Structure 1
Amino acid sequence: MAQRGRRRDRPHLIIMRGLPGSGKSELARDIMEDYGNSGEILSTDDYFIDEDGDYNFEYSQLKMAHKWNQKRAEDEMSMEVHPIIIDNTNITCRDMKPYVEMGLEYGYYIKFETTPDTFGRTIDELHARAAHSGIPKSVMKRMRKNFEQVDSIYDVID
C-alpha cells in the first residue's frame, strides 16, 4: 500500500454521488476547474458514447462498462494523475468500493461529493433532466430509496 501523507501532499480521488439528472457531470467539471483542469473525469457513461458522440445506453452492457471504467481509474492512479473524479451515480457503498480500494492502494486522498439536487429536486424534475439516459422513473425512485449515506471511506470499506 502506498504511503499515507498529508491530504495536500497526496493525489485526490473525488467520488461523485447523485441521481441521474442531479448535476454530477456539471459539478465534476466545476471541481476539475478548481484543480486547474489538470486531472481526469472518468464516467461509466463514456463507455456508451459512439464515435459520432451519441449516447447509446444498453443495460446488458452495464456490468462490463463499470469494469471498463474501473480499469481506466486504476490506469490513471498508477500514473498518479491528480485529481481523478469518478462521475457515476455511486448510490451504494458497493458501487464505490472498487474505487475506494484502488484509491487506498495508490495512496489517494478520497472524498465524496453528493449533488444537492439528488434530494433537492423531485423525481419528476430529475427524470426530465436525465431524459437522454432512458432510465425509468421507477428506477430513479428505487435509486433514491437505496441511496446510502457515506461520511468517510470507512463507511464504504466496512
Structure 2
Amino acid sequence: MKLILIRGLPGSGKSTKAKTYDALHVEADMYYVNEQGDYNFDPRQLQQAHEWCQNTAEDGLKQGLDVVVSNTFIKQWEMKAYRQLALKYKADLVIEVCREQYGSIHDIEPSVIKRMAKDWQE
C-alpha cells in the first residue's frame, strides 16, 4: 500500500500526474467542486477543504487502497499529517515534486504564485 504526495506550485501538473496512478486520488480543490462539476473556491473554507482531504485519504488507507494526494504542500509542515497517516497505516510514503508551469486552471494571480514560489521549502 502506498501514500503518494504530489507537491508543486499551481499549474505545475500535480492533478494531471495524480491521474496517472491507479489509486484513490484526492486533493483539497475537490472540496470546492459542486454536483454540477463547477469549481467554486472559498478561502474561508480552506481549513475544511484540507481536513476533508486528509479524512478522505485516511479512509482510503483504512480500506487498504493506494492513495495519491495532490496539493501544493509549499511548506514541509503541510505534509506532516500525511506522514503520520503513512506511519499509522504502514503505507509506503512517496513524495513527488512537479516543477513545470502549464498555467493554473483556477485563475490564480501570478503575484500569488510568485509568493508561493518564494515560500517553497524543499
TM-score of the two chains, using structure 1 as the length reference = 0.73
RMSD, aligned CA:
1.2
- By relative contact order (CA 8 Å, sep 6+), the higher-ranking structure is 2
Structure-1 residue corresponding to 2:39: 55
Corresponding residue for 1:143?
116
Work out the CA distance in 1 between the residues paired with 2:50 and 2:18.
18
1:91 aligns with 2:81: no
Query: What's the counterpart of residue 107 of structure 1?
Result: 90
Q: Deviation digits for residues 35-68 of structure 1, max 9, x if unmatched?
A: xx2x201111110001110111111111110011
What stretches of structure 2 of length at least 5 have no aligned partner?
Answer: none
| SS of corresponding position for 2:112 | helix
Counterpart residue identity of residue 18, structure 2: A
Moved over 2 A (4+): none
Q: Would the aligned equivalents of 2:9 and 2:99 in 1 still touch at CA under 8 Å?
A: no
Q: How many residues are treated as equivalent by the alignment?
A: 122
Residue 134 of structure 1 pairs with residue 117 of structure 2: no
Distance apart, 1:137 and its partner CA: 1.7
- Long gaps (5+) in structure 1: 1-10, 150-158
The alpha-carbon deviation at position 135 of structure 1 amounts to: 2.2
- When normalised by structure 2's length, the TM-score is 0.93
